[in-house]
Amino acid sequence: MAAGRAVALDVRPAEEYAAGHIPGALSIPVDELADRIGELPEHTEVVVYCRGAYCALAYDAVRLLTARGRRAIRLDDGMLEWRLADLPVDAGGAAA
């Protein structure tokens, strides 16, 4: 991500993003993604995550993004596993 080759995309509702998200992640709730896809960099891989490893939101987002010609993958884990691993979390602020 730091090199600009990938962007993290949080597809949870905006309230959940504001409560804590992966540092640098963009917030586009999955139900808004079809209308807001243009906010994502065109030639950058999108790494999608949501609540946890089995959260359907990330699967839905990856399907939508790839159907629209974007390179997208799902993060194996979600925010729950990220927090349990004691990795950095940003909280507060408005969703992007």
Instruction: Please count the residues of the chain.
Output: 96
Predicted pLDDT at 96: 52
> Within 13 Å, how many C-alpha atoms sit on residue 27's CB side?
21
The answer to whether residue 55 is catalytic is no
Predicted pLDDT at 53: 87
Give the pLDDT confidence of 15-59 residue by residue, as tens digits. 999 999 999 999 999 999 999 999 999 889 999 999 998 899 999
Give the pLDDT confidence of 5-18 residue by residue, as tens digits. 899 999 999 999 99
Q: CA separation (Å) from 24 to 54, 56, 69, 86, 88?
A: 22, 22, 23, 17, 11
Reduced to 3 states, what is the DSSP secondary structure of residue 55?
coil
Distance between CA atoms of residues 64 and 89, nearest Å? 26
Give the pLDDT confidence of 55-75 residue by residue, as tens digits. 999 999 999 999 999 999 999
User: Which member of 28, 47, 50, 55 is catalytic?
Assistant: 50
What is the average per-residue pLDDT within 74-90? 95
Q: Are 62 and 55 in contact (CB under 8 A)?
A: no
